[in-house]
Chains A and B, each alone.
Chain A
Amino acid sequence: GAVVSQHPSWVICKSGTSVKIECRSLDFQATTMFWYRQFPKQSLMLMATSNEGSKATYEQGVEKDKFLINHASLTLSTLTVTSAHPEDSSFYICSAKGTGNTEAFFGQGTRLTVV
């Protein structure tokens, strides 16, 4: 299957700082990328969908000014958590889909802890 690499795997940051998470498709062109978040003992929740070269579409209740998503190329999307607070601590995971794929392929996820 296709490979999606997410970086970093885990990050600890201070409250008030910003954190950037990268999602790369290594062997295919990702026309669409999806960002999910998972709180402990809860489901993965879709945060936003991004298409290359377009603004991301955010799910209801997700603050677009806090979770900045950029999908500037066919192999890279980034999620920036701005002015992070402890309640943003979560597991963030991306998936990527190309035009020739019927399914999206997932990255390894990023564990964010805000202290």
Chain B
Amino acid sequence: GDSVTQMEGPVTLSEEAFLTINCTYTATGYPSLFWYVQYPGEGLQLLLKATKADDKGSNKGFEATYRKETTSFHLEKGSVQVSDSAVYFCALSLNAGGTSYGKLTFGQGTILTVHP
């Protein structure tokens, strides 16, 4: 079946450090890929997405590139801030049509803590 694997956390960084959270997937079709973020006490929010191979999603300084050859969608940020502390989830969707992303398969989440 379809699955998503994220690097295990927690990840602890100092402010302005470089961030990478690895994500790899297994899917039977051609998935769309997502990163969601959950800040303390809040719901999951879509951070960025990519719908086809070689697409790069970006938002708030975060980037991830859809790599079909390595089945990966690693999340990166050049300089993290304390406010980036949250739980990050990688996910995929195989909904047909490519325009409706309700049904998601998630990774286990990675807790990121950024210290001043």
Contacts and interface: CB of A to CB of B under 8 A. Distances in A.
Interface of A: 1, 4, 6, 9, 32, 34, 36, 38, 41-46, 49, 93, 95, 97, 102-109
A95 B102 contact: yes
A97 B107 CA distance: 21
Contacts, number: 56
Given A32-B102, A49-B102, A41 B108 contact: yes
In this complex, the interface size class of chain B, counting residues with CB under 8 Å from chain A, is 20 to 34
Contacts of A4: 43
Nearest to A34: B102
B106 interface: yes
A109 B45 CA distance: 12
Interface string B75-112: 00000000000000100000000011111111111000
Nearest to A94: B43
Nearest to B36: A106
Interface of B: 4, 36, 41-46, 49, 89, 99-109
8 contacts: A1-B46, A4-B43, A38-B109, A46-B103, A95-B102, A97-B102, A106-B44, A108-B43
Given A44-B109, A103-B101, A104-B104, 19 more contacts: A1-B45, A1-B46, A4-B43, A34-B102, A43-B105, A44-B89, A44-B106, A46-B103, A46-B104, A49-B102, A49-B103, A97-B102, A103-B102, A105-B43, A106-B43, A106-B45, A107-B43, A108-B41, A108-B42
Nearest to B42: A108
B107 A93 contact: no
B41 A104 contact: no
B34 to A, nearest CB: 8
Nearest to A42: B108
A80 B23 CA distance: 33
A6 to B, nearest CB: 7
